[in-house]
Amino acid sequence: MAADAPVTRKCLSKDCENDASALQCPTCQKIGKESYFCSQDCFKRNWSEHKAEHKVKTTGHYNPFPTFPFTGSLRPVYPLSPRRQVPASIQHPDYAKDGIPRSEQVFVGRNKIKILDKKEQEGMRKVCRLAREVLDIAAREMRPGITTDYLDEIVHKACLERDSYPSPLNYCHFPKSVCTSPNEIICHGIPDQRVLVDGDILNIDVTLYHGGFHGDLNETYYVGSKAEADPDSVRVVETARECLDEAIKIVKPGMLFRDPGTVIEKHAKARNCSVIKTYCGHGINQLFHCAPNVPHYAKNKAVGQAKPGMCFTIEPMISLGTHKDKTWPDDWTSATQDGSRTAQFEHTLLVTENGVEILTARLPDSPGGSIPMPSATNGDASKEPVAPSTVA
């Protein structure tokens, strides 16, 4: 585990008793290692010996932001893999080439919420079903020991096999085909060379572009059995799952877009969790992100109401600690300011005449799903059948 640097460091030089100054070996900094010396002289004197340590690290992996004050123990592990390609035969969204979603930036009618006709609704159904398939494929591959970059490869290939473009790829210059957000990462984590460990929780956020439409969903999963046995991890993951379920229950024509936030925050607070305010649900159709804006917190000022034929996402991000976020210098990865764990769930929804259709609904064999709170005592005891007592 990464720890904070001690207050007083000793000079790394072999036979030097001095405290270290702020002087660090620049090569070590590049590869994400800490090595402090007391003076330029000491550093130079030790160079021939010290440089050997640079070669010890044979993986070539490094932290690209060694001086950034990370809020938790997670670090980016670079280099990112080369950009993945999408064959020209697959329909690309407008931003695929230069990273700029021009069709989303039309300011006229920006707050107008699109009503999809029957044919367009069918297009949304199709892409959302494909997106569910891809998320499930990624979730089945997820286990301790693999990297998030491997999940990116899996998602990318599964999209291509479905004649679909992975919507995140080059959206506002996002470098990868899926967002992977472990532990204290709220959302928009970039798949990299970090290896998942037993005890992590991981959100996988998949969006596909197919037939001219985007379908968007995400779930948070437990990596290995340690996470399933950790009460706080289970509390934040299951609370996020329930928050989405509760919010979807109120979706029908006439629902105000400010209302889901009330339901979500009430449930989160009842579980002693907080709601991230910076990121919202969004309209989705031929555009990846458009009106309406659907905040997840109470007392928001979102405008508009649901009408049959509208498509939008609800995707609450729930934290064990603060609701405040901090973005890494990669300009994407959003972490909690106090390093506490967060979880998220997302569905793409279609408003029907009298309710809602969950376009990205789970399939009977979808991996993941809710688990019970681990008992405070030894979890093994719960496997013993409990004799029925008085039935209430």
Q: Which residues bind Zn ion (CB under 5 A)?
A: 205, 216, 218, 313, 346
Is 120 marked as a binding-site residue? no
**Residue 133 assigned ligand-binding role:** no
**Is there a binding annotation on residue 289?**
yes
**Eight-state DSSP code of residue 178:** S
Any known ligand binding at 205? Answer: yes
122 is in an annotated binding site: no
- Considering the complex, state which of residue 167 and residue 340 has its C-beta at the smaller distance from Zn ion: 167
Ligand-binding site membership of 210 (annotated): no
191, two tokens: 């798949």
CB of residue 289 to Zn ion, shortest distance in Å: 7
Q: Residue for token digits 């044919």? A: 119
Name which of 205 and 330 has its Cβ closer to Zn ion: 205
Q: Phi, psi at residue 209, to the nearest 5°?
A: -120, 115
Torsion of CA 356, 362, 364, 368, to 10 degrees: -150
**315 CB-side CA count, 13 A:** 28
Question: Least distance from C-beta 309 to Zn ion, angstroms?
Answer: 19
Query: Cβ 224 to Zn ion, closest distance in Å?
Result: 24
CB of 365 to Zn ion, least distance (A): 22
**Between residues 196 and 290, which has the closer beta carbon with respect to Zn ion?**
290
Pick 120 or 216: Cβ nearer Zn ion: 216
Q: Give the span between the Cα atoms of 225 and 101, in whole angstroms.
A: 40
Nearer to Zn ion, 183 or 218 (CB): 218
| Residue 94 annotated as part of some ligand binding site | no
Q: What is the dihedral of CA 323, 329, 332, 334, to 10 degrees?
A: -20
Closest distance to Zn ion from the beta carbon of 354 (Å): 25
Q: Are 382 and 371 in contact (CB under 8 A)?
A: no
Compute the distance between CA of residue 51 and CA of residue 35 in angstroms, rounded to an integer: 11
Joined tokens for residue 160:
């291509």
Q: CB-wise, 32 or 283, nearer to Zn ion? A: 283
Report phi then psi at 183, rounded to 5: 50, -110
- Beta-strand pair 317-319/274-275: antiparallel
Q: In this structure, which amino acid lies at residue 3? A: A
Min separation Cβ 349 and Zn ion, Å = 11
Q: Give the annotated binding-site residues for a protein.
A: 188, 289
Q: Give the annotated binding-site residues for Zn(2+).
A: 205, 216, 282, 315, 346
Q: Give the annotated binding-site residues.
A: 188, 205, 216, 282, 289, 315, 346
